[in-house]
């Protein structure tokens, strides 16, 4: 497997944009196909899942396949990665193998939640464990608000000494 660094930076960005756009297009197409009589939910599950796989795979163009795989199994996002892959597999199984529309829809919803959790694992201090298990919800949202308005938080100090976060 060739690392993405063998591609020029322009080619990597174009590949990322194309793959991500194809993923969004598949997800949107799946949403439109949801309303097709009798087969709509199955088509939705398949297109939505392939769209999510393409969007997730688009980052391979930015960091390379091996680095992407290494980052996916880091301890901070291993559980989220497993949940995403499990939800993708269960969505496809419920659509093709079990032929159960209700399960397909439930697994599509769980797939969205798992992908959100996985995406948040790349944002420092926005991980599931930091927010919910350590009771830092208001601090994380305060920090995100500070970043949005162009101010910076001393989040690391707050995490280390247990004090509240302060805005610079």
Q: How far, in Å, are 12, 20, 38, 155 from residue 17 at the CA level?
A: 9, 5, 34, 32
89 SS3 class: helix
101 vs 114, higher pLDDT: 114
Cβ contact 131:143 at 8 Å:
no
Give pLDDT, residue 152.
41
Are 83 and 114 within 8 A, CB to CB?
yes
C-alpha 58/C-alpha 55 separation (Å) is: 5
Average of per-residue pLDDT across 95-123: 88
According to the model, what pLDDT value does residue 48 have? Answer: 94
Q: So what's the pLDDT on residue 6?
A: 81
Label residue 73 exposed, middle or buried (CB < 10 Å: 0-12, 13-18, 19+): exposed
Residues 11-20 have pLDDT tens digits of: 999 999 999 9
**Token pair of 65 as six digits:** 């396949």
Q: How far apart are CA 128 and CA 139, in angstroms?
A: 13
Residue 91: predicted pLDDT = 93
Mean pLDDT of the chain: 78
**Residue 11 pLDDT:** 92
Q: What are the pLDDT digits (tens) for 111-155?
A: 989 988 888 888 776 655 555 555 554 554 444 444 433 444 444
């Amino acid at each position: 497997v060739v690392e993405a660094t063998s591609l020029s930076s322009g080619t990597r960005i174009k590949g990322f944009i194309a793959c991500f756009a194809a993923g969004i297009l598949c997800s949107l197409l799946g949403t439109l196909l949801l309303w097709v009589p009798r087969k709509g939910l199955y088509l939705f599950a398949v297109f939505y899942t392939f769209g999510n796989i393409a969007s997730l795979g688009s980052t391979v163009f930015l960091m390379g396949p091996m680095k992407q795989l290494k980052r996916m199994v880091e301890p901070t996002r291993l559980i989220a990665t497993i949940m995403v892959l499990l939800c993708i597999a269960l969505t496809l199984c419920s659509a093709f193998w079990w032929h159960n529309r209700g399960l397909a829809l439930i697994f599509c919803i769980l797939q969205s939640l798992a992908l959100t959790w996985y995406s948040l694992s790349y944002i420092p201090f926005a991980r599931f464990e930091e927010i919910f298990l350590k009771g830092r919800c208001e601090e994380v949202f305060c920090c995100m608000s500070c970043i949005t308005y162009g101010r910076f938080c001393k989040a690391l100090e707050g995490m280390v000494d247990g004090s509240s976060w302060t805005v610079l």
